[in-house]
Structure 1
Amino acid sequence: MATMLLSTHGTNGDVLPFVRIGRELAERGHDVIVMTHSWFADRIEAAGLRHLPIDTAEGYDRHLDDARRYMLDPLKDPDGVLALYRRNGLFELLADEVRMIEAHYRPGETVVVARHTSGIAALMAAELRGVPVALVSVTPHQYVSLPVLGNLFRRVLGQGYDEVFRAFGLRPVRDWAAYLTSVKTQLALWPEWFDAAGQPAPEHVVRCGFVLGDTAEGPVPDWAEPPVLITGGTGQVLHDRFYDVAARACRRIGRKALLVNRHPSFLPESLPDGVEWVPSAPFASVMPHVAAVVHHGGIGTLARALSSATPQVLLAHGVDRPDNAERLDRAGVAEWLPVSRWDEDRAAALLVRALDSAAGGGYRERIAALAADAASGNAVRVVAEHAEALIGTDAVMTRPDPRERLARLTPEQRTRLAAMARARRGV
């Protein structure tokens, strides 16, 4: 038996897949500790896992609310993003997480499974103690956005990160894109077809498949007519008009809707007739019984909809959502609108097409194979096997050599890099 320390940050789509992975590892006989936000304590306890909180529930909600104005476009106000990190003590939190990992590390017996791009504490622990680490990406955008994220970490947040690294006796990071992809075991929680529908992840990344984290079940709904489900996820990085446009689209076509949202401040002043609001719902039980779902494009929501063969309309805006929506659209399994085209008429038209496809267009039959794959549970077993393969592989991690990274570039990447260098020099 090993100690599996799972480290993740974010909202349901980022945390609940790790809880599901933790359950699989516990069933294999390992001692599992989930290091994440206090807000998820009940879900972790219900899964029978140990919880190592990194904050308070109040602090978590306060940070979500504070981050909302910056996270849709962090480079628009770089000074504001640095102030956000300082104000919410995120650099101190990083240092605390490193110490938490060190306190639970036993050489030869501990593995850290960390969320890609936010698992910086795990990478630092690997440098300091040789802790074996697997990085898990929950969405392709975590690789697509690496150049932008690397620039944000270096140019905007570098001062704060440098302070933390120096406090632990580590050199500050200069190439964040290389540092964030420096471990050998990198796992992607999406399938091959989803990867191929957009910019693919690097070749060495293992495409495991979707991991359905929202496994909490409730009673099967008894509706005379299945409603349309409307959800913008559990975070606050959401366009102000999302729920208004979605609800009005349902009213426009005369369909009842169930609106699920735990942040009432996002709701319109008055909801149209036929739209019922609830703060939460067990999607594992609800999703198979709704007529369609209108959502924000979150990876967890789209995976659950696929597993239930539920038609999807995405009003996608910000972070990974447009990329997710484009991939579904290219695969022919969803309809979507970018924010520049949001209005109730266009959303209603897409919703009608989705409902018609479900009623007589063969949607459920057409995606049967994808639905079965999304619901199979095989992905979580693949993740667990790769995590187990790291037991006893402790070795101090060294920083990636920039020359090695250059040697791995394709001719096209080398040409692009040279052009960027010439542009900086004004040539």
Structure 2
Amino acid sequence: MATMLLSTHGTNGDVLPFIRIGRELAERGHEVTVLTHSWFADRIAAAGLRHLPIDTDEGYDRHLDDARRYMLDPLKDPDGVLRLYRRNGLFELLAEEVRMIEAHYRPGETVVVARHTSGIAALMAAEMHGVPVALASVTPHQYVSLPVLADLFRRVLGEGYDEVYRSFGLRPVRDWAAYLNNAPVQLVLWPEWFDAAGQRAPANAVRCGFVLGDTAEGPVPDWAEPPVLITGGTGQVLHDRFYEVAAAACQRIGRRALLVNRHPAFQPESLPDGVEWLPSAPFASFMPRVAAVVHHGGIGTLARALSSSTRQVLLAHGVDRPDNAERLDRAGVAEWLPVSHWDEERAAALLARTLADDGYHERIAPLAADAASEDGVRIAADHAEALIGADEILRRPVPRERLARLTPEQKVRLAALARARRGG
């Protein structure tokens, strides 16, 4: 039995897949602890896993509310992003997470599976103590946006990160793109067809497949006619007009809708007739029973819809959503609108066309079977287990400016060392 530490940050789409992988590892006999937001305590307990909260419920909601002002376009006010980090104590939380990993690390017996991009504490622990680390990405956008994010980390957030690194005796990071891709094992939680529909993940990353984290089930109402499901996910990084446009589109074509949103301040005070609001719903049970889902383009929502063969219309705006939407569109299994085209008439026409698409079920069948498979969970767990006992101090990649000064012979030796480290 090994100690598996799972570290992740964000909303349902970022956290629930890690809980699902943790449950698989626990069923294999490992001791599993999830380091994440306190808001997920009930979900983690229901999976039979141990939880190390990295914040409080109040702090989590405050951060979500704060982040929405910047995360849709962080480059619009980069200094505001730094103030957000300072105001919410995110650098202090990073240092505390490093200490949590250190406290639970047992040489030869511990593995950390951390969310790519935000799993900085895991990389620091690997650099200091040799903790084996696998980085798992939940959406292709984590690679697509890496050049921009790396520049943000260096130029805007650098002073805060530098303070944390120096406090642990580590030198500051200068090439964040290379550093964040430095873990020997990288898992991507989406399938090959989804990867091929846009910018691909690095060649050495393991394409596991979708991991359906939202597995909660519950009773389904006896609907006379299946409604349209409307959801903008569990976060607050959402365009102000999302729910207004989605609800109006359903009313315009005369379809009853179920609007699921735990942040009612984001929806119109008065919903159209035929649109019912719920703060939450068991999507694993609801999704196969609805006529279609109108959503924001979140990876967890689209994967659950794919697994249920549910028709999808995406009002995609910000972060990873347009990229996710483009991939589904190229595969012929969803329709979407960029925010510049959001209006009641266009959204209604798109929804009506989606509902009337006679060829949809034939196109979706092979992809639905792939999305509903448990292979992604098993593959991710297999690679986490393969790291047991693989303790080794993580060395930083050679900076690009230094690499440019190497002789051809030095580059050959460096490449050979890299291959040996990967076991290839």
- Indicate if the aligned counterparts of 2:190 and 2:207 stay in contact, CA closer than 8 A: yes
Spell out the pairing of 1:3-152 with structure 2 (5 A cutoff).
3-152=3-152
> Taking structure 1 as reference, are residues 148 and 363 closer, same or farther at Cα in structure 2, changes over 3 Å only?
same
Taking the aligned partners of 1:85 and 1:292, their CA distance within structure 2 comes to 38
Change (3 A) 1:392 1:405: farther
The residue aligned with 1:425 is: none
* Counterpart among 383, 386, 390 of residue 386 in structure 1: 383
Deviations, residues 236-258 of structure 1 (Å, cap 9, x unaligned): 00000000000000000000000
Counterpart of 2:363? Answer: 366
Counterpart check, 1:154 vs 2:149: no
Q: Report the 3-state secondary structure (helix = DSSP H, G, I; strand = E; otherwise coil) of the residue aligned with 1:367.
A: helix
Q: Number of aligned pairs?
A: 404
Deviation at 1:55, TM superposition (A): 0.4
Stretches (4+) displaced over 2 A: 402-407
> Distance between the aligned counterparts of 1:345 and 1:110, measured in 2?
55
Distance (Å, rounded) in 1 between the aligned partners of 2:43 and 2:13: 13
Residues 221 and 289, structure 1, Cα contact 8 Å, conserved in 2: no
Distance in 2, matches of 1:362 and 1:328, equals 15
- Match of 2:39, SS state, is helix
Q: 1:112 to 1:405 in 2, by over 3 A?
A: farther
Tell me the CA shift for residue 365 of structure 1: 2.3
1:324 and 1:406 map into 2 onto residues whose CA distance is: 34
Task: Name 2:231's counterpart in structure 1.
Answer: 231
1:75 deviates by 1.0
Cα shift at 1:184: 1.1
Distance (whole Å) between structure 2 residues aligned to residue 336 and residue 405 of structure 1: 44
Q: Which runs of 5+ in 2 are unaligned?
A: 405-424
Aligned to 1:377: 374
Gaps of 5+ in 1: 408-427
CA contact (8 A) 1:189 1:207 kept: yes
Contact (CA 8 Å) 2:313, 2:350: kept in 1 or not? yes
How big is the shift at 1:403? Answer: 5.0
Superposition pairs of residues 393-412 of structure 1, within 5 angstroms: 393-402=390-399
Instruction: Evaluate the alpha carbon distance shift between residue 29 and residue 225 of structure 1 in structure 2; reply closer, same or farther with a 3 A threshold.
Output: same
Counterpart residue number, 1:421: none
* Cα distance in 2, alignment partners of residues 30 and 368 from structure 1: 35
Letter in structure 1 aligned against 2:391: D
* TM-aligned CA deviation for residue 220 of structure 1: 3.0
What does residue 264 of structure 2 align with? 264
* Other-structure match for 2:206: 206
| Residue of structure 2 equivalent to 1:274 | 274
Distance 1:406 1:278 in 2: 55
Deviation of 1:362 after TM superposition, in Å, equals: 2.7
RMSD: 1.0
Moved more, 213-222 or 131-140: 213-222
